[in-house]
Amino acid sequence: MSLPPKKGKIQGVKRQLILDLQTFLWRFEQGGYSRDSMHEVLEFLETALESEAHEIGGAIEEHISKMITDCHAYAEGKGNPKDVVRDLDQLRQDLEK
């Protein structure tokens, strides 16, 4: 059993996660919120966020997992880009608390 990360490390991971979310959102915006742009940036999102979310754990990890699922749905033509942006913004706000 491993010890939970120290508070300072968690804050650093949260800051990096916020930066990654901002980068993802910027890249998605640059692609015109298209499904093609979602496909292009989704790999970045999954790689960056899943490892960081795992370090934080709890509700943040669950929220990120749901957000990635929503992004996949949009990329496959089943979702709405406004929902993706709303989820990203809500996650950022949760991380800043």
Domain boundaries, the chain: 7-96
User: pTM higher than 0.75 for the full model?
Assistant: no
**Cα–Cα distance between 34 and 61 in angstroms, integer?**
26
Determine whether 18 is exposed, middle or buried from the number of CB atoms within 10 Å of its CB (0-12, 13-18, 19+).
Answer: middle
- Band of residue 20 on the pLDDT scale cut at 50, 70, 90: confident
Structure tokens at 23: 């980068």
Which 8-state DSSP code applies to residue 49? H
Q: What is the pLDDT of residue 5?
A: 54
**Cα–Cα distance between 85 and 20 in angstroms, integer?**
14
- Band of residue 81 on the pLDDT scale cut at 50, 70, 90: confident
45 closest CA partner among 21, 11, 10: 21
CATH code of 7-96, in short, is 1.20.120
